[in-house]
Structure 1
Amino acid sequence: MLAEVSPLSPPLTQQLPDPLTLAIGSLITLLTASVLEEFFYRAWLQTRLEALYGRWPAILASALLFAAMHVSHINPEAIGVGIASVVAAQGMFGLMQGYLWARYRNIWVIILIHTIVNLVYVDMLI
């Protein structure tokens, strides 16, 4: 549901859930997306790719894979625009997070940034 309310998403065709359901969904998103994604894409994958290929190829590869994971949230009626918007938005976010990981190696700051970005849309719904 949270992926359906981005500025580039098509208009909603269903009622929004009540605030408690939205809060519980946000907490689950916090635990899965923010923590698990950053540990996997930055701390595990990018670190290994950096050792093999260098900093920037690793950042680019992990950002593209991060964006590709979000392609499942695309409206089938606008597949071309959907893929382009996911690659642009999630890819750029992945590049930023990848650079921050490569530069500072502080996973908790990166998780905090990811959490804030994920929860921005919740404020728009309430």
Structure 2
Amino acid sequence: MLLMSNVTATVVTRPAATRDRQNSLVRDWTTATRKPYAAMLQPLGSSETVQQSDQVTTDRICFLPPDAAVTEYDRVEVDGITYEVNGRPGKEQGSGPLAVLSHLTVVLREVTG
């Protein structure tokens, strides 16, 4: 349980790869398993690359319940935006009376353009 959740974050579990018509491995994210969690989302940073087209990379940090099933291969949807999980989620464990503060820390990345 998170003490201060401000959004619902839906973890989209990476589906198994299948072969397409050209025999390439592909993942159909529309068939992936989705599980919503109460979460807290905070800005982490962003950058913009201007060359042939504008590309904006936005990073956010997401705090999920400690029992959330999320890996570095998954995606997370928040308010209609799909983020890639960037790196392995970290488990922050409280002990004794601070066990209520236990949570997962997940860095999310959105790339547009």
Give the TM-score normalised by the residue count of structure 1. 0.24
Larger radius of gyration: 2
Q: Specify which structure has the higher proportion of helix.
A: 1
Bigger RCO of structures 1 and 2 (CA < 8 A, at least 6 apart)? 1
Give the TM-score normalised by the residue count of structure 2. 0.25
Q: Specify which structure has the higher proportion of strand.
A: 2
